[in-house]
Amino acid sequence: MDEGNTGTAQAPDISQMSFEQALVALEQIVQQLERGDVPLDQSISLYERGEALRAACQQRLDAAQARIEKIVTGADGRPAGTRPLDADG
């Protein structure tokens, strides 16, 4: 990625990015904002892009969590099977 080009016009479409790619892009934006060496208008654009990346990452994490199954223990404390993480009980 070209770190000198921080405009969002040529930035990859977030929906086409993997979780890992979105996370790396978000980390790069955070680093740029923390340095404080970008103009105000560019900082605002970076912040908006960062928020969109954060939301996309959170959505993907939530979706992954919904698929995780947790181990159900029997009366003897041993694993008795699995069920969806969000199942009652």
- Structure tokens that stand for 89 in this block: 């009980």
Digit-coded pLDDT (tens) for 44-87: 999 999 999 999 999 999 888 777 655 555 667 676 666 666 56
Question: How many residues does the structure list for the chain?
Answer: 89
Establish if 63 belongs to a structural domain. yes
Q: What is the pLDDT of residues 1-46, one digit of tens each?
A: 444 444 444 788 999 999 999 999 999 999 999 999 999 999 999 9
49 lies in a domain?
Answer: yes
In a domain, 10, yes or no: no
* Residue 28 is assigned to a structural domain of this protein: yes
Tokens coding 73: 């223990």
CATH at residue 72? 1.10.287
How many separate domains does the chain show?
1
Burial of 22 (0-12, 13-18, 19+ CB in 10 A): buried
DSSP state letter for 3: T
Tracing tokens 């928020």 back to the chain, one arrives at 51
Domain contains 31: yes
Note the pTM of the prediction, 2 decimals.
Answer: 0.66
Q: Is 42 within the bounds of a domain? A: yes
| 5 inside domain | no
Q: Which domain holds residue 22?
A: 17-84
Extract the tokens encoding 17. 């990015």
